[in-house]
Amino acid sequence: MESTTQIRFPYDQSIVKELPLLNKNEIEDILVTAEQLFNDQPNWIPAYKRIEILEKAAVIMNDRSEELIHIAISEGGKPYKDSKAEILRAIKGVKLAAEHISQLKGEQIPMGLTEASVNRIAFTSKEPIGVVAAVSAFNHPLNLAVHQVATAVAAGCPVIFKPSSNTPLSGIALAAILKEAGLPNGWLQIVLCDNETAELLVTDPRIHFLTFIGSAKVGWYLKSKLAAGTRCALEHGGAAPVIVESDADFTEMIPDLVKGGFYHAGQVCVSVQKVYVNQEISDRFIKQFSEAVDKLIVGNPFDKTTDVGSLITPKEVDRVEEWVNEAVAEGARLITGGKRISDTCFEPTILFDPSEGSKVSTNEIFGPVVCVYPFKNREEAIKRANALNVHFQAAVFTKNIDAALDTAKKLNATAVMINDNTAFRVDWMPFGGRDSSGLGMGGISYTIEDMTREKLTVFKSKSL
């Protein structure tokens, strides 16, 4: 009997679609197709054609943006205004991928610097790395697909894309659009399968590059199982610490932190999670922050007034509720929220000074919860912010340039935002975690470069 997966609307758990899962035998056919395309070098898609395909895909996506927004909401549960922003980003991402193709270039390597290297000219060039396996996450179903699929198309690599089983419809829609835009058969294959079959796919020696966005536990496990020679990029989560100094501008900061903490119900790898506030202003901060959070509208993500939608599954609501209750039992003061609204929604929650040992302090929450910790000494706050082994994006709010630069230097993060929230991202910037938060840097152009490899060509001639 054929196995299937049910895609449910996270808000009310109604079934949106039921799709078949591939089995291990079907994975073999997919790998054979991808390998044959890569080995057939004379028929690689030329650069000008890749540009045409991606540019046309961006036009089609723009024409169908409302349809894509609807798909993303129905499977991911992100509110309308945020899903709309995601689709606009995804369109821009496809354009960025098309533009970067013209930047895939090598350089001349000097020769004649020693007697042994005379009569030679040498240069490097970029080639596609090979077959790409892309494993994606649920929280930005279209934009993440663009970051993993459009980049592979731009690099000239056949790509096998495994979307999250919760949110595969956006990736499937992207594949249909790319095909309509002229991408030849086989260059993008969508794989819906269980975890065991996915492991079989990504660890196959015919895979040259793995791009993985998801949990650290799974990502690092898969990396340990990769075939010799397979390169990879891993993007996991963090705890997104923020340092707030006593001279911070509340007018700018409060809305920034509310957005950064509760966008997509906190289900973002760089959501504001741990805010360290100078105790001189902590009472004022708590008052203004909680007043702003209390104004957030929680509800159906299709409603254009909704600020915070549902979590991806009821199981996640159970987990967040358990963690919040544990934090309160261990001494945290509940400022606002703290309760489930339904099986699928949880109140936007602020916890004050939870124990450093509570799960909300030691793990990525991935829910609508922000923890606030008072500090006397900024050095101590930075030390606490750096204490976990996850390090991704961080932030500092201050109008003192020396304090800002000092904090940015000392925070262990791949990116530090000054007077902005930790969730800031544009798709042309480098983006990724360090230490256990990931490996390599994403961002459209960075990923395309990752999916290429260099070749050195050396001419020897008496005429040189």
Whole-angstrom distance between the N-terminal and C-terminal Cα of the chain? 68
C-alpha distances out from residue 264 to 80, 81, 297, 310, 381, Å:
10, 10, 12, 8, 27
Average pLDDT over residues 67-82: 98
Instruction: Write out pLDDT tens, residues 351-364.
Output: 999 999 999 999 99
Average pLDDT over residues 215-221: 95
What pLDDT does 1 receive?
A: 61
Q: CB of 340 within 8 A of CB of 317? A: yes
What pLDDT does 127 receive?
A: 98
Residue among 203, 202, 174, 188 at smallest CA distance from 58 = 174
- Average pLDDT of the chain is 97
Instruction: Write out pLDDT tens, residues 81-110.
Output: 999 999 999 999 999 999 999 999 999 999
Q: What is the DSSP secondary structure assignment for residue 197, as one 8-state letter?
A: H
Instruction: Write out pLDDT tens, residues 272-289.
Output: 999 999 999 999 999 999
What pLDDT does 2 receive?
A: 73
CATH 3.40.605.10 positions along the chain are: 4-236+437-459
Average pLDDT over residues 317-327: 98
Average pLDDT over residues 121-145: 97
SS3 430: coil
Q: May I ask the CATH class of domain 241-418?
A: alpha beta
Instruction: Write out pLDDT tens, residues 154-172.
Output: 999 999 999 999 999 999 9
Task: Kindly report the backbone phi and psi dihedral angles of residue 370, in degrees, each rounded to the nearest multiple of 5, phi listed first.
Answer: -125, 135
Percent above pLDDT 90 for the chain: 99
* Confidence check: pLDDT of 233 > 80: yes
- Catalytic residue set: 235, 269
Average pLDDT over residues 36-62: 98
Average pLDDT over residues 427-436: 95
* Confidence check: pLDDT of 56 > 90: yes
Beta strands 4-8 and 15-20 are: antiparallel
Q: May I ask the CATH class of domain 4-236+437-459?
A: alpha beta
How far, in Å, CA of 47 to CA of 69, rounded?
A: 30
Residue among 307, 320, 318 at smallest CA distance from 368 = 320
Q: What is the DSSP secondary structure assignment for residue 188, as one 8-state letter?
A: E
* Bridge partners of residue 18, in order along the sequence: 6
CATH 3.40.309.10 positions along the chain are: 241-418
